Structures are given as C-alpha cells and as structure tokens.
Structure 1
Amino acid sequence: MNLHKGGKLETTLKNPILSKEDLSKVYTPGVAKVCQAIARDQNQAYELTTKKNTVAVISDGTAVLGLGDIGPKAAMPVMEGKAALFKQFADVDAVPICLDTKDTEEIISVVKALAPTFGGINLEDISSPRCFEIEKRLRDELDIPVFHDDQHGTAIVVLAGLLNALKVCDKNIKDVKIVINGCGAAGISISKMLLRAGAVNLIGVDRQGAISRNIQYDRSHWSDFAQITNPNMENGKLPDVIKGADVFIGVSAPNMLKVEDLQNMAKDPIVFAMANPTPEIDPTIAAPYVKVMATGRSDFPNQINNVLCFPGIFRGALDSEATDINDEMKLAAAEAISSVIDPADLNEKYIIPDAFDTRVVERIRKAVAEAAYKSGVARKNLL
C-alpha cells in the first residue's frame, strides 16, 4: 500500500527551465514557431511533441484483473502499473486514463477525441464482448496503433511459449490437437493467433461445452469463432474434447482441469493453465502427467506474462511511426520472444524468457518495426 501512496507516476522535464530565455523557448513566444510547423505538416507532431513516445492506457474498469467490474477509480492502480511497466521496460511514456462510462459508442468517441495527443492506444480491462467492437472500430477509424492487450498481448506470449514448448516435445503446430478452455476475449484472440501460426485442429470450450459450427449461438463472436475452429465438429464438455489433445490452454477459472483429463491427453502433453491467481490445475498436482507446464504466476516456471510483449511491441510501433499493430507485427513479436531462448537452453522448465531479460524488448522492437515496414503500415523505415 505504501508503494502506491500518491500514485506510482510523476511528470518530469527533459530540459530544465532556468531563465527567461528558456521560458520564452518552452512557452510563448517561441512555441508559436513549433505550432505553425505542425499546422503546416501534421506529421511533424511525431518529431516536435510527446506524441512520438507516448501511449494512452485506457480502461473503463469493467474487467480488471480477476476482480471484474470495479469501476474506473478502482481500476486506476492497474493502469498506473501498466504505465510504469511501459517506462521501465521500453522507455515508453504512458498515461493512465480511466473512463467513467460503459457505453461502447461513448468510449469510442472519447478515445478518438484523445488520439491526437498519443502515438498509440493500449486498451485495457474492458469486458467482453464490447472490447471486440471498441478495438475494431478504433483500429478502423484512427491512424495510430490500437492494441487491446488482454486479447493480443496474451495471445502473443502464449504463441511464443507454445512454439518453444512444441520444440521441447518434438511436435509441429500443424499436427497437434489444441484445446482452449475459456472463449472470452483472451481465448478467442489466442485461438486466432495460433491458427495464423499454422494450427489446424483447435477447439474452443466454454461453460456450455465445445464451440461448434453445428450449434446456434446468441453471441455473434461465438458464431464467428465456430466457423474457424473445431474442424471435426467435436461436441461435449472439456473432459470429452480433451481426449487425445496435445495442448491445453486455459484462460478460464480455477480447478477446471482434473488429473483424469491429463491422463486422457496425448503423449507428452503441454498444459498452459493461466487462470489467475489460481490456475486451472495446481502445477504440483499436474507435474507427473505433463511434459511442459506453464501458468500466469511468477512462483512457478514458465510464467506467461503480458509484460514480455506490450512494451516491446509499442516500442517498435512508435519507432516506426506505425499506423496499426497488424497480424504480421503480432506474429513477429511472438517469434522474437521465442527466439530469445537459445535452442540449446530449451527445456521443460524454460520455454519463455524472464520479464527482466534485457534482450526481449530489443528483439521485439526490431522484429515489429521490420514487419510494420514490410506490411505497409510504417511511416518510417528503420531497416
């Protein structure tokens, strides 16, 4: 609690204001020349304002950590924490903004109005399914990157870990059966990321059971999801569809996975149990039955942590003055994270680098900037 007193952030100056001459340059009359330069060429805002290095961390407080809808004021410590991580790991200046509205259109309108100030928008802790439309609309309507970290940050780090886990198990992503438990924002985004990376036999499971195209859904995002997953149209609850699975990825709730389920999986199973703070199965209970185990916790090996992704991906997007964070950039980020671990060092307990590994952000930055340029969304070529 003491660490959070008065908040975790402050504003500092790049250059001190020590004289009337300094004052006249920083503010009137000298600042008018800078304003006129930007008025003539809007892109000059990247060179002459904080836009070049500033991201807004925006939430409505409706899906905060495992706490749920706690409101904008209670969400602020999380957004401040996110901003602190941006600065610590990638030297990105981030501003926490919590909005006192749950209205989709109003959130979109407010963020669009704020956008000229920032080089990127990090959406955070906005409940599903509103988060899908909010992100899509903002990506379509703004000329700066918009990234919902709960969806895509999680998906990128999961793919990075899975690529290395599959190497440990000598399996190919195109051949394995993957079960995703939890079909909210994170589960759907993870699924789409794995499909783009080459996965074929992927099944999403929620409380109602396996998502399948032979079932009608009230939720449009589940109907769309069903069309791209579960190619064999398997039905039933988790214990039914996990039979023969090579990979289990949980973004759901505590204690959803049983030892019997693990015993029914394929040889050398991979289990990512990422419910926080209590995973889908206790890693100590699962240990005798799995080849590779990962969680979202820092007190077990192989922590799947979004902090591995979002600082570097925004660093690369800002440096290349990207207009979007597209699929090519996300895949490049995942591959960059996985590449940090030398193949000779890969093992069951080391498939993902540590958050404090200084190589991570730089690898992601370079890979993302290159992908941004090659895919046509970068204003600046860093190659």
Structure 2
Amino acid sequence: MSSRVPLSTKEDLSIAYTPGVAEVCRAIAADETLAAEYTWTSNLVAVVTDGTAVLGLGDIGPKASLPVMEGKAALFRAFAGVNSVPICLDTTDPDEIVETVTRLAPSFGGINLEDISAPRCFEIERRLESTLDIPVFHDDQHGTAIVTLAALRNAVRVTDRKLGDLRVVVMGAGAAGVAISRALHAAGVGEIVVCDSRGIIHSGREHLNPVKEELATITNPSGLRGDIATALRGAQVLIGVSGGSIDESALEGMADDAIIFALANPTPEVAPEVAHRYASIVATGRSDHPNQINNVLAFPGIFRGALDARATHITEAMKLAAADAIADCVGADLAPGKIVPSPLDPKVSIAVAEAVKAAWEARK
C-alpha cells in the first residue's frame, strides 16, 4: 500500500492521520454506506482459504497454500485493478471459518473463497452469503462454471447446435462439477447427467449427501443408472472436472461431432490426442493446449463489476451475464480451436465487469 497524497509536512500528517481522519470516521459513523466512498473497501477483496483443496495438490494446509493466494492477488490487480489480501486460515471447521470471515468482513468490499474442499465449501459460501452484505464468491465453483458455460455456448455455435438440444455428461460432483451442472441447468441445457466415483447420480441412489440429493432433482431426467460409459452413450458433450481418468472405450458411444472438455489439471481425464479421435472440439485446463478453460477469464471482471455496482451479492443473472460476455469476446475468431478468448486479452475483464454491473443494476 502506498499513499496517494504527500506525507512530508506536519500539515500533511494532520490531514492524512489525526485529526483529519476523525472527520471521515464521524461521517461513516453517521452513514455506513460512505465507507465504500471514503475507504479502500470499494476496491479490496479478501482471498480466503483453508488450504484443503489447492489446485491438483489437495489438502496441503494454509501455509503451503499461500503462494496460490498470492498469485490470485496478483491476477486481481493485473487484470482488473482490484486490490486483494490473501488470508489463509488455520482451521477447517466451517463454523470457525464463517465466524472468522464474518468478523473480518468490515475491512473488505468482497470475499473470494478459494480452494476449500467440498462439501464444506457449499455450506460456508451459503452461510456467508446470508450473513454478509458484500459479494461472496467461491471461485472454484462459480468461476469454473462461468468459463465452462462460455466455452460451451461457443462450441455449440461452431457445431451448429442449441443448448436445449444437448445431453451433457459432467464427470465429477465436487465444487466445480456441482456449480457447472447448476449453471448449465440455469442456461437451459436440455439434459444433464452427473457422474461421481460411484457412477451416475440419480434420485434413487443411496447415501447421497444433501448437495448431491439436490443435484439429482435437476439432472438425469431419464433416470439413467450405471457408470460413465452408460452416461456417455449418445451424449454430445463431456465435461470432466474429476481429476480421474476415462477409458477410451467409454468415448466410443458418444454422438458424432462431440464436444469434450477434459478440465482436470495438470492431467486431463482424457488426453487431448485421444479426445480428438471422438470430438471436433476439445478443451482442457492447460495453457499448452488450445481452448484453455481458465478462471482468470471470469473472477477479475466479476469482482470489478460487483464492486463498481456496489452489489451486495453475486446473482445468478450476473454469472450468466459474465459467461455471455466471455463468449462474445471471441468474436470473429470463433473456430474449433478458439472457443474462449485468451486469458491475456485485456478486453475480457472490461467486458465481464460491464456485463456484471449491468446485470446487477437491471434487477432493480
């Protein structure tokens, strides 16, 4: 942090600190909404983790997770001019995490939850959203879902399809898989089938946790049962967010001209060279292959737009608007190997921020 005003004389000090700041304190005490105007909260996000689900590394703890949170802070600043502070909590208890973040919240304009394992991440986000009057956004869920939806919108354009005509198989029912399934449902995808390590999720399956029980109510309308190969028969789209692997034989039952997003990183569920044997469009989570599904396309602009709009939460309409904005940034370059813009394209965060802000303002 550096001062935007000089601090070289006694008069400077009297304005920047005591007694000058007392006037600002009095103003905010009389009207708390002025905090966003007179303090850094209007441009400051907390990046909060407990280190339990870091990248592909898993539960490595809060200290080892700090480099990822610092990297996230660098991306916030570079791509959207948003300041952020990494906060790595030495607890995995949802009650303690919610209490700690709630107590810290007055210093921030938004909360970015990061790398918290499922299913605890769903409860933590839900409770914070209901408690706080600033945006709360779990990027592993919603950032991944938004960019995936943007990529799918463009993929169906390339293959001359419609979202409503698709059967999409999502492999993985963790944070990303659940959020992607919900986003696809909200966007009007025709049929969604979700598989976890035990096979297809359906309403009659035993031992489903509450999140998967809810997921079963909005997916698999045909009541399919069985493994991933069964789910993929006739499917036009496969989205992998499991960290596992899919045998090539399971891909043989997919529809012609298929779409495969194998997003596990660093090792995709299906190797790109194998995926191309069955799909006309292939995306991964890796930067060394075309069509990288990268959350940096979403989260900087989403927070920029939410902060600029003084939003109190992130709505579903804001998420869908962000996905549309990302998809539209590809423009005339749209092709099988170009269904998402480059993460380094400076126009993306601007477009996403404008779309998110407009979606918030349109709700009134």
TM-score range, shorter chain: over 0.9
Matches within 5 A, 1:5-20: 11-20=1-10
Residue 142 of structure 2 is matched in structure 1 by 152
Amino acid at match of 1:156: I
Spell out, residue by residue over 1:44-69, the C-alpha distance to the aligned partner (whole angstroms, 9 max, x if none): 00010000100000001111111111
Match of 1:265 among 241, 250, 254: 254
Q: Name the CA distance, whole Å, in 2 between partners of 1:237 and 1:15.
A: 63
Residue 337 of structure 2 is matched in structure 1 by 349
Residue 60 of structure 1 is matched in structure 2 by 50
Taking only the aligned residue pairs, the percentage that are identical comes to 54
Q: By how many angstroms is 1:261 displaced?
A: 2.4
Residue 115 of structure 1 is matched in structure 2 by 105
Residue 8 of structure 1 is matched in structure 2 by none
Residue 309 of structure 2 is matched in structure 1 by 320
Instruction: Give yes or no for contact 2:112–2:137 (8 Å, CA) kept in 1.
Output: yes
Matches within 5 A, 1:1-383: 11-254=1-244, 256-342=245-331, 344-376=332-364
Q: Name the CA distance, whole Å, in 2 between partners of 1:16 and 1:278.
A: 51
Instruction: Give yes or no for contact 2:119–2:174 (8 Å, CA) kept in 1.
Output: yes
Q: By how many angstroms is 1:264 displaced?
A: 1.3
Instruction: Give yes or no for contact 2:292–2:340 (8 Å, CA) kept in 1.
Output: yes
Instruction: Give yes or no for contact 1:274–1:295 (8 Å, CA) kept in 2.
Output: yes
Q: By how many angstroms is 1:218 displaced?
A: 4.0
Q: By how many angstroms is 1:141 displaced?
A: 0.8
Aligned residue pairs total: 364
Q: Name the CA distance, whole Å, in 2 between partners of 1:286 and 1:112.
A: 44
Residue aligned with 1:55, SS: strand
Q: By how many angstroms is 1:257 displaced?
A: 2.1
Amino acid at match of 1:26: A
Residue aligned with 2:112, SS: strand
Q: Name the CA distance, whole Å, in 2 between partners of 1:288 and 1:15.
A: 61
Q: Name the CA distance, whole Å, in 2 between partners of 1:99 and 1:240.
A: 41
Q: Name the CA distance, whole Å, in 2 between partners of 1:19 and 1:155.
A: 52
Q: By how many angstroms is 1:114 displaced?
A: 0.6
Residue 5 of structure 1 is matched in structure 2 by none
Q: Name the CA distance, whole Å, in 2 between partners of 1:172 and 1:16.
A: 58
Gaps of 5+ in 2: none
Gaps of 5+ in 1: 1-10, 377-383
Spell out, residue by residue over 1:151-187, the C-alpha distance to the aligned partner (whole angstroms, 9 max, x if none): 0000000000000001011111111110000001110
Q: Name the CA distance, whole Å, in 2 between partners of 1:114 and 1:107.
A: 11
Q: Name the CA distance, whole Å, in 2 between partners of 1:296 and 1:194.
A: 19
Amino acid at match of 1:169: T
